[in-house]
Amino acid sequence: MQQPIAILDSGVGGLTVAKEVMRQLPREKIIYFGDTARTPYGPRPADEITRFTREIVDYLIQYRPKMIVIACNTATAVALEDIRSRVAVPVVGVIHPGARAANSSTQTGVVGVIGTEGTISSGAYENALKQLSPTIEVVSLACPRFVTLVEQGNFRSEETFNTVKTSLGSLQAGNLDTLILGCTHYPFLAETIGEVMGKDVRLISSDGETAREISTILHDRNRLERAEDMPVHQFFCSGDPVMFKRIAQQWLGEQIELTPIVWQVPQIANRTVG
Amino acid sequence: MQQPIAILDSGVGGLTVAKEVMRQLPREKIIYFGDTARTPYGPRPADEITRFTREIVDYLIQYRPKMIVIACNTATAVALEDIRSRVAVPVVGVIHPGARAANSSTQTGVVGVIGTEGTISSGAYENALKQLSPTIEVVSLACPRFVTLVEQGNFRSEETFNTVKTSLGSLQAGNLDTLILGCTHYPFLAETIGEVMGKDVRLISSDGETAREISTILHDRNRLERAEDMPVHQFFCSGDPVMFKRIAQQWLGEQIELTPIVWQVPQIANRTVG
């Protein structure tokens, strides 16, 4: 039987990672869990985020995943090591792939990181970068207004340009040549962020980088899927399935031909909402 | 005791991989073996290449490496799976990292590969790409004259430009948006190849991509080095150590401050040269 890759997120943001896994590894079956009933995780205390993440992993483990992907910056920052110590399969977060890509890309040794306040204050990107290269210089900046712009679908307006330009002003000095978009929502603003930062700054999105590390690790462990049949993905959410399905189809459906989706709302929602 | 990463190559080409490991993972200790007495591997039969690679691995294993890197396209194409089946530590080649980076990068789904005749005729890049994405289109081309240009130090002359332009002519049609430099010598010609292919074609060098996958796999296996001390690397070659040392210092010495190098010529050279 084909063992899936389990991808979990606090809501819909992790669908960008799922989309990249579908693009880069079209043979792999995905099971996705969006904890839409309890999103966002950002403002929650660390022990609560760890508990939520454990609950979702406990739920997904019944599907015998060959790998668990924490496709949420906040949950990765707080709970990655906890989950790694609890399960036998490899666990991948979104922070180390982004940090590794930036470390590989930078020539000046100066890397910027933008993210939510929770992710930035955790210092997780800085720790991951310094673990690789002790002398790397990291400039971190919380951009709390960006998520709202994305959730409004406001990717390319003048208001968006002005907000991005004002927010990123402090990053434009110095030798910074690489900028990590440390939030799954930010890739939707990549064009605007690119215009503001200029063409000499390379933008790193965790979605594509995480999909690539999933591929590397499955190959190293000799667990890449060999079956020729196209996989049937499964999506779960803890909140309103109608809204989740609409967003997922909008994000995934246009460029990727989806095999039939089994929509299920697990019991976890009833236990934990509110 | 710090366990090293063992990097082996048919000669000096794999030093580009070693240099990238030093840049991306400055805490990691490297032991490098260049089989300069028996280079090049390209024209040799497969069973001989496998035997040579096994001999070098058997020699290096006494240093208790935590990983083995086959930094030679020909040896990777022929002997990677054999070595993976023989040792308990992870074994990384240069072909899958390049293929994975190209698969991740391409938007059109059309990827070019250039390499030596041996590498191209093995079909190893095409196999690696199709294993990831069955529908990807791969255009392969042997460029035997490029290695000579590099070994002459002839990176940027008019002759080089004309040779590259003539050789790559057949790649410039179609939707190709990503080109894998499938030979450790080719990155020295990257500027010229980039001029010929145009700015819309992304060039993939295996050196940086391989270093990044080494980082990913060591992180997944919880084997990244944590020591603060800078490592002392060791270099071995089976041929003339004076010439090897001169090239290694020229390639590694300018941008990277090397800790003292222990130069050793193992017995393998005496057994097998000639």
Q: What is the pLDDT of residue B249?
A: 82
Distance CA A40, CA A60 (A): 20
Contact B104 A212 (CB under 8 A): yes
Q: What is the pLDDT of residue B268?
A: 59
pLDDT level of residue A273 (50, 70, 90 thresholds): very low
Residues in chain A with CB shorter than 8 Å from the CB of B217 are 216-217, 220
List Cβ neighbours of A186 (8 Å cut-off, separation of 6 or more): A114, A115, A143, A146, A150, A193, A205
Contact A216 B219 (CB under 8 A): no
Query: In Å, how far is A212's CA from the nearest CA of chain B?
Result: 7
Cβ pair A6, A238 in contact under 8 A: no
| Amino acid letter for position B271 | R
Q: What is the pLDDT of residue B228?
A: 79
| Amino acid letter for position A222 | N
Half-sphere exposure of B118 (CA within 13 A, CB side): 17
Backbone dihedral angles phi then psi of residue A230, each to the nearest 5 degrees = -70, 135
Mean per-residue pLDDT of chain A: 88
Q: Looking at the predicted structure, is the pLDDT value of residue A256 above 80?
A: no
pLDDT digits (tens, 9 = 90+) for A19-35: 999 999 999 999 999 99
Kindly provide the ipTM of the predicted complex, given to two decimals. 0.87
Distance CA B111, CA B107 (A): 10
pLDDT digits (tens, 9 = 90+) for A35-52: 988 888 888 899 999 999
pLDDT level of residue A257 (50, 70, 90 thresholds): very low
* Nearest CB partner across the interface for B215, out of A24, A92, A100: A100
Contact B25 A212 (CB under 8 A): no
pLDDT digits (tens, 9 = 90+) for B105-119: 999 999 999 998 888
> If residue B79 lies in a helix (H) or strand (E), which one and from where to where?
helix B73-86
Query: In Å, how far is B212's CA from the nearest CA of chain A?
Result: 7
Cβ pair A237, A18 in contact under 8 A: no
Mutate to test the interface with A, among B81, B215, B218 (most CBs of A within 10 A): B215
Q: How many CB pairs under 8 A join A and B?
A: 67
Q: Is B72 a catalytic residue?
A: yes
Helices and strands of chain B, counted as H and E runs:
12, 10
* Nearest CB partner across the interface for A217, out of B208, B212, B216: B216
Residues in chain A with CB shorter than 8 Å from the CB of B134 are 26-27, 228
List Cβ neighbours of A242 (8 Å cut-off, separation of 6 or more): none
Q: Looking at the predicted structure, is the pLDDT value of residue A274 above 50?
A: no
Nearest CA in chain A to B219: A96
| Amino acid letter for position B117 | E
Q: At what angle do helices A124-132 and A73-86 cross, to 10 degrees?
A: 60
Distance CA A230, CA B151 (A): 46
* Nearest CB partner across the interface for B217, out of A104, A208, A220: A220
Q: Is B237 a catalytic residue?
A: no
Residues in chain A with CB shorter than 8 Å from the CB of B97 are 216
> How far apart, in Å, are the Cα atoms of A123 and each of A97, A126, A133, A153?
15, 5, 15, 29
Query: In Å, how far is B217's CA from the nearest CA of chain A?
Result: 6
| Residues A153, A154, A156, A160, CA torsion sign | negative
Contact B212 A132 (CB under 8 A): no
Q: Which residue do the tokens 């779960």 mark?
A: A236
Contact B216 A219 (CB under 8 A): no
* Nearest CB partner across the interface for B24, out of A103, A135, A226: A103
Distance CA A207, CA A22 (A): 11
Q: Which residues of chain B have pLDDT under 50?
A: 255-258, 269-274
Nearest CA in chain A to B214: A216
Cβ pair B101, B204 in contact under 8 A: yes
Residues in chain A with CB shorter than 8 Å from the CB of B219 are 96, 100
Residues in chain A with CB shorter than 8 Å from the CB of B226 are 131
**CB-based burial, A150-188: b 16+ in 10 Å, e otherwise:** beeeeeeeeebbebbeebbeebeeeebbbbbbbbbbbbb
DSSP track, A22-83: HHH-TT--EEEEE-TTT---TTS-HHHHHHHHHHHHHHHGGG--SEEEE--HHHHHHHHHHH
- Using alpha carbons, select from B125, B27, B212 the residue that is nearest to residue A213: B212
Extract the tokens encoding B187: 């990155």
Q: Is B214 helix (H, G, I), strand (E, B) or coil?
A: helix
Residues in chain B with CB shorter than 8 Å from the CB of A133 are 24-26
Half-sphere exposure of A51 (CA within 13 A, CB side): 8
Q: What is the pLDDT of residue A25?
A: 96
Residues of A at the B interface, defined by Cβ within 8 angstroms: 24-27, 90, 92, 96-97, 100-101, 103-104, 131-135, 208, 211-213, 215-217, 219-220, 224, 226, 228
**Among the options A99, A147, A183, A193, which is catalytic?**
A183
pLDDT level of residue A260 (50, 70, 90 thresholds): very low
Cβ pair A269, A52 in contact under 8 A: no
Nearest CA in chain A to B135: A26
- Using alpha carbons, select from A44, A41, A49 the residue that is nearest to residue A14: A41
Cβ pair A128, A95 in contact under 8 A: yes
**CB-based burial, B168-193: b 16+ in 10 Å, e otherwise:** beebeeeebbbbbbbbbbbbbbeebb
> How far apart, in Å, are the Cα atoms of A115 and each of A46, A187, B151?
17, 11, 46
Q: Is A198 helix (H, G, I), strand (E, B) or coil?
A: coil
**Among the options A6, A17, A70, A72, which is catalytic?**
A72
Mutate to test the interface with A, among B132, B222, B223, B228 (most CBs of A within 10 A): B132
The pairing of strands A67-70 and A5-9 is parallel
Q: At what angle do helices A73-86 and A95-105 cross, to 10 degrees?
A: 110
CB B133: neighbour CB atoms within 10 A? Answer: 21
pLDDT digits (tens, 9 = 90+) for A91-145: 999 999 999 999 999 999 999 999 988 889 899 999 999 999 999 999 999 998 8
